[in-house]
Amino acid sequence: MLRYILTRFLLMIPLLAVVSLLAFLLSQGSPGDPVESMLQSQADAENASGSMSRINHNDEILKIRQRLGLDLPLFYFSVATLADIDTLYRVREIQSRPVLKMMARETGHPDSVMFWFKNQLRLSDQIRKSLTDTIQPATGIDRENLNRALSLNEGILLTVNYNDRAARIDSLANLLSLIPAVKNERALFEKGLFTYRFLYSNCAAWKKYIPSLHLYGLNNQYHQWLFGNGTEKQGVIHGDFGVSYRDGSPVMATIGKSVKWTLLLSLSALIMALFISILVGLKAGARPGGLFDRITGFLSFSLYALPGFFVASMLLLFFANPDFWDWFPASGIKDPEVFNPNESFFRRAIGYLPFLILPVISLTYAQFAFITRQVRAGVIEAMESDYVKAARSFGLTENQILLKHVLPNILFPLITLVGQSLPLLFGGSVIIESIFSIPGMGLEMYQSVIALDYPMIVAIFTIIGFLTMTGYLLSDILYAIADPRVRQGKEAKS
C-alpha cells in the first residue's frame, strides 16, 4: 500500500511542474506593468496618508524591476530568429516592446533598433530637462511646442505601423525646427533620424527566416520564481509567491488567512452533500418510480438547474432580511461586538456558526443534486445484481441489503465524485464568498482580479491546481483501500 501511494505521489511531481509553468506564463502574459501597479498602489497609499514625498520615477522603476527579477530573461532559453532582439526583456517600457520587435523584424538590424530606441529616450529626457530649466526659461509658445514635441516623441515609441510612425517623425522634425535654442534636442533628433533612415534603407528582412537559439542559464525569471534567488526571494517551491501589488504584503501571508475559511466551507459542504445524497439516493434507488423517487428527482433537477448566485441571493433575501425572516447574519464571519478571540475554540466555533450556515447551504445544494442522481443510478443497478438476489433469498431485510451489500458496491463512483468535487467547490466559492463577504480564497480571488493583482491570482491558481491533484490522489488511495486489486494493478473481474 505504501509503495502504491508513493508511486501515485511521484506521478504528481511532473503535473505540479506543468501547473507551475502555466501559472508563471499566466503571470507573464497578463496585461499591464507590475512595476507601474506597485508604484500606483504606493502613490495611493501616500495620498491617503497625506504624504507629499516625490521620488525619481525612473530610478524607482529600475530598483523595483531589479528586485522582482524583471530585468532577467524569461526562461532558460529562447527560440527566436536572427532579426529578433534577444535583450528585449530589459526594456522597461513594456508598451514599446511590440514596436521594437516589429522594427527589428522589418529591418533585420536588432542592435541598431535598440540604439535608435535609446537615443529617442535620451531625446525625451532632454526635452523634460528643457521644460524644467529655471536658468533659461522658455517662452509660453516654446513651452507649448516642447510639450507637443515630448508627446510626439513618446508617441513614436508606441506606434507599430510604419506609415503612422513616419508621419509622427516628420511632424516632430517640423516642430523642432520652429523652437529656438533647442540645439541639444535637435542634435539628438538628427542622430536618431539618421539611424532610422539607415535601418529602413538597408533592410535585411531575410534574417527573420533564420532561427536562433539563445541560452540564458539559471539566471532567469522562471528559475528565480520557482527556486528563489538565495536572498530576498525564496521561490514557489518554498511557498514564496512574492508580494501583492495592492499592498506589498507577502502573498502567502494573505492566503494563509483566507484558505482556512475556504477549506472549512468546501469540506463542510462536501460532507453534508455526501451524507444527504447517500441517504436520499439509497431510498430513491431502492424503489425507482415511487412517490419518494419522483419527488426527490424533481427537486434534484430543479436545484441543479439553479445558479449558485441566485440561490445565495434568495437565501439572503428570505432568511437574512428583517422584512421576511431575520434568522441569520447577512455577511461576514463574526459579530465584532460580541466576539472574543481569547475564548475557547468551542465558544468561538459557536460564534462562527450562524455566519456559515447560509454559505454552506449555497455550496451544498448543487453537489447534493448531482451526487443524489449518481447514487440512485448505482443503487438501481446494484439491486438487479445476483448478490442482492442471493441476500434476499437468505431473508435479509431491505435496509440490511442496502447498507451491507448495495452501499459498499456504489462507493467507487462516490470516491471519484469526491475527487472531482473539490475543484468545483473551490470554483463555486468565488461567487458564494463574494456574496456573503466571507474572507476566503474565493473573495480574495475576486478582489485580486478586480485590482489586477497577478501574484495573488497566480498563487491561488497554483494552490487550487495542487488541491485538485490532491483530490485525485485521495480518490486513488480510497480506491486502493476499497479494492486491493487496484493497487496490485489488476483489472476487476466480473
pLDDT tens column, 69-128: 778 888 888 899 999 998 888 888 888 999 999 999 999 999 999 999 999 999 999 988
Three-state secondary-structure class, residue 413: helix
Say how many C-beta atoms besides its own lie within 10 A of residue 319's C-beta: 16
DSSP letters for 365-385: HHHHHHHHHHHHHHHHHHHTS
Give per-residue pLDDT as tens, 112-138: 999 999 999 999 999 888 888 744 555
No. of helices (H) and no. of strands (E), the chain? 20, 2
Q: Write down the domain spans for the chain.
A: 77-215, 251-487
User: 130 near 181, Cβ under 8 Å?
Assistant: no
For 273, half-sphere exposure in the C-beta direction (CA atoms, 13 angstrom radius) is 30
DSSP letters for 66-106: HHHTTTS-SSSEEEEETTS-TTGGG-S-GGGHHHHHHHHHH
For 377, half-sphere exposure in the C-beta direction (CA atoms, 13 angstrom radius) is 9
Nearest-angstrom CA–CA distance, 369 and 1: 34
Helix axes 411-436, 345-383, angle to 10 degrees: 140
**Angle made by CA atoms 48, 50, 51, in degrees to the nearest 5:** 110
Q: What is the pLDDT of residue 189?
A: 93
- Return the top range by mean pLDDT from 120-129, 304-313, 429-438, 444-453: 120-129
Q: pLDDT grade, residue 161 (50/70/90)?
A: very high
Closest CA to 432 of 354, 369, 350, 366: 366
Q: What is the pLDDT of residue 135?
A: 47
C-alpha cell at 4: 502504491
DSSP code for 209: G
Q: What is the pLDDT of residue 170?
A: 93
DSSP code for 306: S
Q: What is the pLDDT of residue 98?
A: 92
| Percent of the chain at pLDDT exceeding 70 | 84
Q: What is the pLDDT of residue 428?
A: 63
Three-state secondary-structure class, residue 474: helix
Q: What is the pLDDT of residue 171?
A: 93
Average pLDDT over residues 157-179: 91
C-alpha cell at 470: 490532491
Q: What is the largest CA-CA distance in the chain?
A: 110
Lowest pLDDT segment from 117-126, 160-169, 259-268, 423-432 = 423-432
Inform me whether the pLDDT recorded for 491 exceeds 50: no
Closest CA to 92 of 60, 119, 53: 60
**Higher pLDDT residue, 353 or 41?**
353
Give per-residue pLDDT as tens, 229-267: 777 778 888 888 878 877 778 888 888 888 888 888 888
- Residues 6 or more apart whose Cβ sits within 8 Å of residue 43: none
Closest CA to 450 of 68, 37, 47: 37
| Percent of the chain at pLDDT exceeding 90 | 17
C-alpha cell at 458: 497566480
Inform me whether the pLDDT recorded for 51 exceeds 50: no
Q: What is the pLDDT of residue 244?
A: 82
Inform me whether the pLDDT recorded for 31 exceeds 50: yes
Q: What is the pLDDT of residue 405?
A: 79
Buried b (16+ CB within 10 A) or exposed e, 52-61: eeeeeeeeeb
Give per-residue pLDDT as tens, 345-370: 667 777 778 888 888 888 887 777 77
Q: pLDDT grade, residue 344 (50/70/90)?
A: low
Nearest-angstrom CA–CA distance, 300 and 137: 78
pTM given for the model: 0.66
In this structure, which CATH number among 3.40.80.10, 3.30.360.10, 1.50.10.10, 1.10.3720.10 belongs to the domain 251-487? Answer: 1.10.3720.10
Q: pLDDT grade, residue 418 (50/70/90)?
A: confident
User: 422 near 471, Cβ under 8 Å?
Assistant: yes
Three-state secondary-structure class, residue 477: helix
Give per-residue pLDDT as tens, 285-330: 888 888 888 888 888 888 778 887 888 888 888 888 888 888 888 7
Mean of all residue pLDDT scores within the chain: 80
